[in-house]
Every structure is written in structure tokens, then in C-alpha cells.
Structure 1
Amino acid sequence: MSTSYFQERGTPASQDASSPTTPSTGTASRGVNALSSRITNVLSASYADLEIRDALATLDARNVRNTAETRRQIRLDVQKEVIQCNGEIVRDFGEVAEQLRRIGTAISSLNNYCADMRSHIASANRETGPVLEEATSLLTQRKQVEKKQQILQAFTSHFLVSDEEATVLTSTAEPVSEEFFQVLTRVKKIHHDCQVLLGTEDQRLGLEVLEQSSKQLNAAFQKLYRWIQREFKTLDLENPQISASVRRSLRVLAERPTLFQSCLDSFAEARESILLESFHSALTGSSSEAEHIATKPIEFHAHDPLRYVGDMLAWVHSTTVSEREALENLFISDGEEIKRSIQEGLESEPWLRDEGVEIFDGRKALNQLVSRDLTSVGRILRQRTEQVVQSHDDAALAYKIANLINFYKSTFVKLLGSDSDVLEVFNAIEASAMRQFRANMRDYVAAVQSDLAVAPADLSPPDFLDDALQMLKVLAKSYDTSAADSEDQEHGFHAVLAEALDPFMSGCVNLQKGLQQPHSAIFAINCLFAAKEVLSAYTFASERVEEIEETISEQVTQLVAYQHQHLLHESGLINLLEALEKITDSEESLKTIPELDAFKPDALIAASQQLDEFLPSALIDAAENLKRLRNRKIIQDITEEAAGSFCEDFELVERKMIAADDLLYDEDKVDEEQEPGLRDLFPRTSGEIRVLLS
């Protein structure tokens, strides 16, 4: 289409150029330039442009054919359509203008109505203004009054208590119930919150409320204090279900440390009196309440002094355990509540606080309270026990009582602590029993020493030592069953040994001084073995057993030496040994042996015969010297050791005689001409001696 379009448009131009009526040269030049410019514009146009494409699409939609007629009419048709569209627009804008004129008329009418309304409103505002101002003022005042009323109600509900609550809190006619504690808690909060009121400019209200709440609190605590005092008089500690209200009351009363301590003091006095009466009833059975006596009185059925003291201590221990459990349930079952309450009380009353002193320790306070409850009981216990100890002269009984007291003392240390006042009573009783034990033992030792004369003929331990060892066995058994600490056991028994054993062993030493060997050593060993036999059964006497064993070893050494000398003298070997003392191992010295008197033929033959007579019964004769020793094994050991020493001495004599014979032997002489050697005259060998003495 475009090709034909350019061709058809170019035809008239060519015809005009060839026309006879050609313009002038200037006109022709302008025409050519215009055409060239037109062609350039057409050629430079991009047919991919959207506007051109839309135009072509519009032409296609009109089904326009590319003819000369169509190309001439298309501009006219387009202009005609534009004119028609503009006419339609003008008609539409005419209708719009008519509507706008109508709207303007309506708006003018509305403006007139609004002006009338504004004038009416202004008139109404002028008439209702004072009324509105007055109503606003009244509403503001009402809000202020309501706010003050709310503040008053809040103040009244928080800082004031009703007459009924005040009666519950302070009247002694009203019971101490849950309502009492609720009101008390509320008043304490009021008293604490008065600090807020005191922080305002006008402190009068705060001071009045603070004074009123303080009076109410003081009255409430006084009421609580008196109520607890009454409850303590009728409180049954034997009942495990102790009233929870009493525990709670004590926890609350702790906020007043002075009242709390006064309450504890009066409670301790009451419990002290009750326990004293119970103890007296347990001892004698004289009680107005016979139903509480479950067993026979101690003084009636405990005829043995040790059992009497033991029953009293057992009663005190059982009572202490029961008392502590009951008071623990009463005072510290709520954990640290009492401590916190006392802390709060001291903060409110700082003048009651002692610097550097622990505020409150529940366990320590409990132990102290139990100790105070047992004060009178401990006094009676001490009197009765000391009376029993001093009325008997038996040292073993006094020591058993001391051990029994020590056992219970260690139990009370675990129960009440090491700083309990009750332990002072036990220490005093134990010290008194030990003094009596020492006094009785010294009297007994003095009586025994006056009867000492000589040792028994059979060298056995004297009767006084046997009696002392029997008593020592009783004392050791008593000490072993006591609750002495393992670290202190051995040291604690030293005092017993010093009183019950050492004086008697000293008496045995004095008797030993009048004896000769071997009787002296035999007597000492028999006495030492008797003491060792008693002490070996107890580990806490191990140190003394070691000392005894060392002393026995010394005495055994003396007996071995005595037996050795006995064998030498009975065998005749002593003469040969004494003769060889100056003989050395040099050849010159050994050659002089035959010249010694003891080694001359006659003397040596006599010594050999004496040895032969001695050997068959040597051990039996030696053991006969020790027959009074009670320990057969020691007799055998001593004899064997002495025989061993004798064999060594014989080997020495034999060795030197053989050496002398070897030096004096002359090989050039005929056997018949040789003088008999030392070994020929003294033929026994060391091997034979060992066999015969084994």
C-alpha cells in the first residue's frame, strides 16, 4: 500500500514538472526543496511507531481502500467526524451548565437557611451560656467531691479499723482466733504505712494514726502474751498434736523480743517445776497423779547402786529427748519464722539489740531452753549420785559410775550441744566419782603395802596383784563399754592404770629386789605376763602392753644369760673359754694352747668326761631352773637360745683346738711317735653338741 501510495502521489508532480506552464527558476527551486524535504520526512519516519500503527489500524477498521478517491475524501471525512463530535460535546456541556445553574440556586437557598440557623444558634447561645457555665462548675465540683469521697473511703478502709475489729484485737474477753491474727496483721500494715502519711506536708493525720495503731498493737501483744501464759499452764507437751495456734502465737509474739523472752522465762520456770516433780515421783513414787507412774519407783526396785544411778540417768535422758522433741515442734517447727519475727522486732526497737551478738539461733535457743528446764532435775541428780558414790568404798563401783556418767555425757553433747549447762552437772558428777575412785584405790594400796613381806615361794604373782588385776579387768571392761571418743580412749585409760595397776606393779618390784637370779627375773616375768594377759584384750591399753612386752624382753635376756652361764659351768666348758680368752688367731698364740693348764692332757680328759656326763640331761637340767615360769613357751625359748649360745662357744673352742693341732702336727714323725692331739683328748664335735642339745 505504501509503495502504491508513493507512486500515485508522485504522478501529479511529474506531470506538473512537464507542464508547459512551468514556474520561474526560483519557484521551481523552492518546489524541489519542499518535495525533497517531504520525502526526507517520510523516509525518516519509523513505521514501528505506535501512533502510526494505531492510525493504520484505524484505517483498516474503516475498511478504507487505497484509491485516489478515498485518499481525497479521507481528510474531509475525518474533519466531518471531528466537527460532529465537537457538536455533541457542546450539547453535553450545555446540559451540564444548566445543571450547574440549578445547583447554584440550591446552594444560595442553603446559604440563606444556614445564616438563619446561625442567627438562631447565636441567640440560643446567648441565652444558655450562663446555665452551661453553672452546670460545668457543678459537674467539676461533683467530680472533686467524688474523688475526695473515694480518698476518704480508701483511707478509712486502709488506715482505720472498726470498733468490732478493735474489740477482737484488744479485748481479753475475745479469744485469740484466726480473726485476731488477721486484724493484727492489718494493724501492723497500717502502722508501717503511716510512713507515707508522715511524708506529707501536714503530718498531724499521720501522727494520730501512728499513735492509735501503736496503742492497738501494744494492747494486742499484751493480750497475746497473757493468752500464751495461760496456755502454757495447761499445755500438755506429751501430746504430739500441740495446738497450731500456740505455735503461731509464739511466732507473732517474737516480734516483741522482750515479751517473747519473758514468756520463755516463765515457760522454763514452769517446765522446770513440772520436770522436778516428775523426777521426784519417778524416784519415790510419791505423786498426787498416780496414773502418770507407769513403773515402780526407782528407789524401790534399784537396789544395786550402779543400776540406781543408771536408772536415774536413763530417766533424765528419756525426759530430755521427749522435752526436746516437744519444744522443737513448738518453737522451731515453722523454720526460721521466729528468727525473722525477732529480726523485725529488733529493727523496730533497735535499743534492745546488743552489738556483736547473734540475733537468734533456733537450735541453740532450743538447747538452752531444754537445759534450763532440766536445771532442778540436774541438781537432784547430782545430789543423789554423789551420795551413792561417797557412801560406798568400792573403787570399781565409783569408776563404773564415772564411766556411765561419761557415756550419758557424750549422749547429751550430741543431743544438746557442747555448751549446754546440763553438761556442767555431768562434769561435776564425773569428777566427784573419779575423786572417790582415786581415794578408794589409794586407801586400798596403802592397806596392801602394809602387808607386803616376801614374794610367794612358787614365784607366782602375789595375791594383791591378782586382786588388783581382777579389779583392773572390771575397770577396763567398764571403760570399754563407755562412750569414750576413739581419739581419747587410750589417753583416758592412763589415769586408771596409774591408780589401779602402777602401785601394785611397784609393790612387785619391791618384792623382786629381795630375790636372786633366776628367781628375780622369773617372778618379774610372771607378774608382767599376768598384767599383759588382762590388758591385751583391750585396744586402748596397747601402749601399756608394748611397755610390758619390752620389760619382759629385758627379763628374758637376763634369764638367757643365766642359762648360758649355767650350761657353761655344768659342762666344764667355762674353764676352756677362760683359758682361751688371751689366745689370738696368730700362729704363735695358737701354738701355746697345749701349754695352758686347762688344755693339758689330764685336765682336757677330765673336761671331756664332764662334758659327756653333762650332755644327756643338759636341757632337762637347764629347764628345771625355769620351772617356776608360768609360760612354758618362754621356758623353751630361753633354753633354746641359751643352748645356741653354748654351741657357739663350743665351736670357738673347737676351732682353736683344731688350729693348734694343725700347727703342731709333724708329718715326718711316725704316728706312734706323735703325741696325742687336743682333738684326740677332747673328741666331741660341734655337730654332735647341736644334735644333743636340739
Structure 2
Amino acid sequence: MTAISPSSSRIPSLSSSQPQNPISLRLYKVLSANFDDHATREALDTLAELYAPSTSKITKGKEVKVDSERDGDAEDEDSISAGPGVKPTGVVAAASGPTIEESVAGDIAARARKNLRRDVESKLAESSRQFLKAFGEVDKQLDTLQEHIGLMRTRCDEAQMQLHETNKACKSLLDRAGSLREERQGVAVRQSIITLFLSRFTLNPEEKDAIASREVPVGPRFFAAMDKAAKIRDDCRVLMTGDEGDTKAGIDILSATATQLEQAYDKIFRHCSFEFRQMGRDASLDVDPSMREAVRRLRQRPELLTEALAYLSQTRQATLLSAFMDALTRGGPGGLPRPIELHAHDPLRYVGDMLAWVHQAIAAEREFLESLFGIRGARRMVGAVRQFGESEEEGWMGEMMDGAVKGLCGPLKVRVQQTVRSQESSITSYKIANLLGFYMFTMQRTIGKEALLSKTLEELTDLAYSLFYGAIETQGRSLLRVPLDLDDAGVSPPLVILDHAQVLREMMLVYESSLLGDEAEEELQAGFRDILDKMVDPAIEMCMTGAEEKKRQRPGWDKAVFVLNTLAYLQSVLEPFAFTVEKQDVVQGLMEGKVLQLIEEHYKDVLADAGLAEIAAACASRQPNEPLSHVTAAEPAALQRALHRFSEWLSGEGVVHSPRLSSLSVQSLHTRIHQAALERLAHAYECVCEEVKKPENKYEAAATLLGSERPFGQVRLLWQIFGLQEQTVA
């Protein structure tokens, strides 16, 4: 079609220059026709099928052709009357013989143009005959179907009649079936309610098996079944508090759940008893959540929990005792740490290592029990007193720890007693006693005062302190028996006092290091009062009695300075420690007495050295009516000599320094005593001047007599020479 279109587009240009030709016009019309239309193409396809080439009959080798000149109407009649077997091809069929193909295609087209109407009508007539034949068969089948439908209607009417009669006969049965159906629905509703009730208030077989069967371990499944049984009991009690009161179902449910819970508690008890026997053999323990939950639930049955914990206590006691003996004799794994008894030659370390091991074991036991009872929430401060009555769990743990460490008391007590009794040094005995007291105090705060270990440590502490007090009493008595060296002219504290004070200082350092810092002042002093009495009092007594005895045998020896030096040394040892205030006051009182005594002695010595002793004595001892100038010691010549000697003494070093007081170990005492003596000397000089100036004492030219020598009768000048302030005298 695409090849024809260009040629057809050029045809008008050719025809315009030439005269119109019918053939050209026909060709132009044919070539310009549009064959793309669907209806046109369908019509052409129908014609092609209708006039397709076909074979013709040949008789005796010759083709018989239909006369082409035959009239179209005659052909139409022949074609219509020919019957359904004749094809509208325009070819006459021969009686017999082979067919040959028509050789000329134009004949087919010619016949098609000539016989088209006849062939179409023939085709339509043939189709109509076929439809009529088919509809005849259909009509016969419809008649047969009509007969069957009539017969079926008859049978249905008969069945309807029978059904109606049957309904009348079965009406009572249907009513009964309806009532039964309603009853079945009610029963189904009640069954669903009962099913829900049983699921709410009874345990299913799996839950019963979890509680009663030994094959199901104690774990989440078991605890869930136990919780459901407890909830059933609570819900049942709530229902039984209604208007109906106690019902048989409620009582049965309570009885069944009570039996199941008792089985559950018995299973928990057996499980805990078995686990406690197994886990108690390990030195360090970890508690899994299921065991912690089992112990928590078993607390609802205290008698079962007590029996189960008894197994744990026995096992832990044997385990800790075995571990303690291994630590004493075998040491740790691979020999590290080394056995404790290898340090038995060092008593303080030996006792300290044993007590430290016990304390560590108690701490580990406490941590294990806290994990077992699940009370890790609240933590106390280190060193704080543990309140065992705060909760039931604290009571259980106190009993468990007491039972676990009970077996350690025997070996610990024997070894500590042997160590304490074998000590000869009082300071070592005190360190051990103080160490025992510290651990006793710690254990009382950790496991309580009623625990066996606390009582054992209290006994050991009392024994250690009694032996220590006995040792220092013996040391004090031996100190009193030590005499002072008569050949030693020195006034310093003797060596035995220095050694004794050094031991006392070490004891005070040990006591100070053991304080917690929260003690009251009275408690602080009371803890060391007995030791001070037994250590300081013998030293003071030895100083006093020894000095008295030495003074008696060596009159020239300075007893007062010796005693004051010794007391000052003891005071210097006590001063750094606040808990020795009471004893410091005692020593200070003794020192004050000795200072006053030494001031008196030094004043007399200074008064004699200054030459005013006789004149001062005369002023003090003269008769009231006797003039002072008539007393032999106070005559003008004697007074002149005394004043001259006093003037010379003022120019010497005795005013600022005393050879005797230079032996004092405390410089402040030297200054204090010397100044006090000078003050009294100034008062004595003032008294002499006043007596000399009085007319009743009958001194001629008293002012000239006093002014002839320093300080020229001027007391204020004397104060300046002594370096004292005038207000000090006042």
C-alpha cells in the first residue's frame, strides 16, 4: 500500500495534460481506494474465502466449462435448486474423473462479479437450513424436558405433602429439641464460666507438676506456680468475705492450695538443704538468684529455714576451721601467702595475722549472707555499730556468722594465750593487748557482743591486760628498788627513769593510734588512766625516795633541782598526749610545790650571798621596843658592811645568773625561780631601808648611811638593776 500511494499522487498531474481515459480513471479509483478500513478488509477476506480457487471435474481428459454466456437469472435458479452440496464457484461438477486447477485467475474474478448476489443468497439459504435443522432438534429436547419437569413437579408436591404430614407428626419432638438446644446453650455458658473459674482458682497440670515433681528444679517455673497458688488463696479469701460466707468450693480450694503450698515449701526446704551442704564446702561463695528467692520464700516457714540454715552453719563452720588451720600451717596455694605460724617468733605479727585472717573471713561470710538474704541495699559506714535488731534478716545473719566462726575460737584462743603468757616485755604485752582490744571492739560492732567470738576476744583481751598490768606493776616495784648512784653528782634524771619514760611514751603512742576519734573526753582519759597510775606514780615515788636517801647520804647534793628536773622530764613526756591531762595536773602540782621550795631555798642563798641575810633576820626578829640600831647584827658598822657587800654583789653575775639554777633542764623554771628570789630580795632591801629610816630605830644620818652604797637606798633603782617591772612587784 505504501508503494501505491506515491504513484497515485502523481496521477492527477498526468491526467491534467492528457484527455481522460476510462481505464486510467478506473485504475486511479482502484489505486486510490483505502484498504485500511476494518469493514473493507473484512469484506475482502470474506470474498477471498468464498471464491477461493478449487479443482474441477474432468471427464475423459477434457475440461467441461460452464457457458459464460448463460443468463444470470438461470444460474441463480439452478444454484438455489441444486441443494446444499453445490458450491457457488461457477464450476460444473463432472460425473467422475480427476480435477484440474483453473488456470486463468481472471475467470474467477469475472464469475465473482457476475454471480456474487446469487452466491451470497445461496450461502444464506444454506445457513438458514442448518439453523432450522438445529432448532428442530432443540424443540424435540425441550418437549422431553417439559415432560420431565412435569413429572418432577408431581414428585415435589408429593414430597411437600409428606413433609407437611411429618412436621405435624414431629412438632412435639421439635419443641423438645428446641428446649434441649436452649439447655445446651445454657450448659455451654455455665461450662465456660466453670472453665474460667477453674483456670482462675486451680492450678493446671503443668503447674501442679512443677510443685510436686522432683524432676522440675526450683526455678522460675516453680516460683510462678507457687505465686499462682498464693494468689488463688488470697482471691478465695476475698470471695469468701461476701454475703454468702464460707462455701464448700472455697473451703475445698483453700484446702487444696494449702496442701500444694506445703508441698512447695517442703520442696524448697529439700533444695536448700542439699544446696547448703554443697555450697558450704567452698571458701568463697556466689549465690544465684534462684537460691536467693528460695531463701526469701522459705522465711514464711521459720522452722524449715532454721533447720536448713543449721546445715549451712555446720558446713561453713567445718570449712572455715579447715581453712584457718591451712592458713596457720600450710599457707595459701603454692605456699603464698606463707603459713602464719612461721612468724610465731614475732608475737605482734603472729597475733595480728591470725586476727586479720579471722576478720577477713567474717567479712567474706557477711558478704555471702547478705547476698543469700538479699539485703545489699543499705550500707553502713565503716566502723559504725551494726544494729542486729533492725530486721529479721539481721538476726538470721548474726546467728549464722556466730555459728560459722564458732569453730575458730578454740585454736585462736590457745595460740593467743600461749603468745601473751610468754611475753616478758611490757610494751609488747601492751601492743598485743591493745590489738586484741581493737579486734574485740570491731567484732562486737560486726557480729554483736553476744557472739562467741566476741566473748572469746573479750576474755583474751582481759587476760592480755591483766598480764600487762601485772608486768608494769612488777616493773614499778622493781623501779622502786633501784637506788640512785651515790657517786653521781649530777642532777639529771637517772637512766632508769629515762628508760621507764621511753616505755611509757611508746605505750601512749600505741594507745593514741588505736583511738577512733569519736570518744568522749572522759572515755578517752579513762582508757589510759590505770596505765598512767601504774607507770608514772612509781617513777615519781622512786624519784622522791631515792633523792631523799641520796640527800641523806650526800648532804652536798642538790636534791631539789634533781627532783624538779625529773618531774619536768616526766611532764614533757606526758604533754603531747591529750588523754594524760589528769596526770599532767598531778605532776604539775608536785612541780609547783618543788618550785616554791626551790624559790625559798634560792632566796635564802641569794640573800646570804648578797650580805643582807643577817640584817634582814634582825629586822624580822627584833623586839618591838628595842631599836634596830642596838641589835648586834644591825649596828651601823654591821649595816655599813652589809650594804657594801650588797653593792659588790649587785656588780657580780649573781644578779642575772645562778650557778645552782643553771642545772635545771627547763630554762623557764630557772628564770622563774631566780626572778622570784630577786623579787623577795628587793622586798627585803626595801624593808631594811624602811626600818633604817624610822626614827625609833635611832640611826644617825640614816639617809647618808643608805646612800653610801648602791642602790643608794632607792628601791626603784634596784628593780631596774634586777630587770623587773615595778608593776610586777605590786
> What's the secondary structure of 1:161's corresponding residue?
coil
Give yes or no for the alignment of 1:147 onto 2:195: no
1:213 to 257, 265, 272: 257
Give the drift of 1:172: 2.3
2:607 corresponds in structure 1 to 568
> What's the secondary structure of 2:506's corresponding residue?
helix
Give the drift of 1:198: 6.7
- In 2, the alpha carbon distance for the partners of 1:263 and 1:446 equals 58
Give the drift of 1:297: 0.9
Give yes or no for the alignment of 1:535 onto 2:577: no
1:396 to 427, 434, 441: 427
Give yes or no for the alignment of 1:507 onto 2:538: no
Give yes or no for the alignment of 1:326 onto 2:385: no
1:384 corresponds in structure 2 to 415
Change (3 A) 1:312 1:618: same
- In 2, the alpha carbon distance for the partners of 1:365 and 1:498 equals 44
2:465 to 431, 434, 446: 434
1:227 corresponds in structure 2 to 271
- In 2, the alpha carbon distance for the partners of 1:401 and 1:510 equals 33
Matches within 5 A, 1:176-195: 176-195=218-237
Give yes or no for the alignment of 1:137 onto 2:179: yes
Q: Is the 8 A contact 1:512 1:520 kept in 2?
A: yes
Matches within 5 A, 1:660-675: 660=695
Q: Which has the larger radius of gyration?
A: 2
- In 1, the alpha carbon distance for the partners of 2:363 and 2:373 equals 15
Matches within 5 A, 1:305-320: 305-320=347-362
Give yes or no for the alignment of 1:169 onto 2:197: no
Matches within 5 A, 1:268-667: 268-285=313-330, 291=333, 294-301=336-343, 303-333=345-375, 360-416=391-447, 420-452=451-483, 457-484=489-516, 485-487=518-520, 488-514=523-549, 515=551, 519-581=558-620, 592-617=627-652, 619=654, 623-660=658-695
Cα distance per residue 1:612-636 (max 9 Å; x no partner): 4544446179722334433344223
Give the drift of 1:428: 1.7
Cα distance per residue 1:421-443 (max 9 Å; x no partner): 53323222211110110111222
The one-letter amino acid of 2:494's match is P
Change (3 A) 1:400 1:133: same
Give the drift of 1:133: 5.5
Structure 1 residue ranges without an equivalent (≥5): 1-124, 337-356, 666-673
Aligned length, in residue pairs = 537
- In 2, the alpha carbon distance for the partners of 1:197 and 1:618 equals 113
> What's the secondary structure of 2:217's corresponding residue?
coil
- In 1, the alpha carbon distance for the partners of 2:544 and 2:326 equals 54
- In 2, the alpha carbon distance for the partners of 1:676 and 1:205 equals 133
Change (3 A) 1:174 1:359: farther
Give the drift of 1:157: 2.2
Q: Is the 8 A contact 1:184 1:217 kept in 2?
A: yes
571-580 or 176-185: which moved more? 571-580
Change (3 A) 1:358 1:436: closer
Change (3 A) 1:561 1:196: closer
> What's the secondary structure of 2:265's corresponding residue?
helix
> What's the secondary structure of 2:481's corresponding residue?
helix
Cα distance per residue 1:357-381 (max 9 Å; x no partner): 9794333433442233222223332
Change (3 A) 1:432 1:680: closer
Q: Is the 8 A contact 1:238 1:326 kept in 2?
A: no
Give yes or no for the alignment of 1:256 onto 2:295: no
- In 1, the alpha carbon distance for the partners of 2:652 and 2:256 equals 117
- In 1, the alpha carbon distance for the partners of 2:202 and 2:508 equals 76
Q: Is the 8 A contact 1:563 1:622 kept in 2?
A: no
Change (3 A) 1:385 1:676: closer
The one-letter amino acid of 1:180's match is F
Q: Is the 8 A contact 1:271 1:373 kept in 2?
A: yes
Change (3 A) 1:231 1:280: same
Give the drift of 1:559: 0.6
Q: Is the 8 A contact 1:577 1:649 kept in 2?
A: yes
Cα distance per residue 1:642-689 (max 9 Å; x no partner): 122112211221233245499977xxxxxxxx8995336666424564
Q: Is the 8 A contact 2:611 2:646 kept in 1?
A: yes
Change (3 A) 1:594 1:506: closer
Give the drift of 1:171: 2.4
Change (3 A) 1:532 1:127: same
- In 1, the alpha carbon distance for the partners of 2:506 and 2:636 equals 67
- In 1, the alpha carbon distance for the partners of 2:329 and 2:491 equals 54
Give the drift of 1:130: 5.5
Q: Is the 8 A contact 1:276 1:376 kept in 2?
A: yes
The one-letter amino acid of 1:532's match is Q
- In 2, the alpha carbon distance for the partners of 1:267 and 1:127 equals 84
Q: Taking CA–CA contacts closer than 8 Å with sequence separation of 6 or more, which of the two structures ends up with the larger relative contact order?
A: 1
Cα distance per residue 1:258-282 (max 9 Å; x no partner): 1112222221221121111111111
> What's the secondary structure of 2:493's corresponding residue?
coil
The one-letter amino acid of 1:319's match is A
Give the drift of 1:294: 4.1
The one-letter amino acid of 1:460's match is S
Cα distance per residue 1:121-162 (max 9 Å; x no partner): xxxx99998577645533442233223312432343234434
Change (3 A) 1:627 1:284: same
- In 2, the alpha carbon distance for the partners of 1:153 and 1:399 equals 80
- In 1, the alpha carbon distance for the partners of 2:390 and 2:489 equals 75
Q: Is the 8 A contact 1:661 1:677 kept in 2?
A: no
2:20 corresponds in structure 1 to none
Structure 2 residue ranges without an equivalent (≥5): 1-166, 379-387, 724-730
Change (3 A) 1:263 1:293: farther
Q: Is the 8 A contact 1:445 1:503 kept in 2?
A: yes
Change (3 A) 1:662 1:387: closer
2:287 corresponds in structure 1 to 242
Give the drift of 1:284: 0.9
Q: Superposition RMSD on alpha carbons, in Å?
A: 3.7
Q: Is the 8 A contact 2:370 2:376 kept in 1?
A: no
Q: Is the 8 A contact 2:317 2:405 kept in 1?
A: yes
Matches within 5 A, 1:89-168: 134=176, 137-168=179-210
Change (3 A) 1:177 1:601: closer
The one-letter amino acid of 1:502's match is D
User: 1 or 2, which has the higher helix percentage?
Assistant: 1
Cα distance per residue 1:230-277 (max 9 Å; x no partner): 222333777675311111111111121111122222212211211111
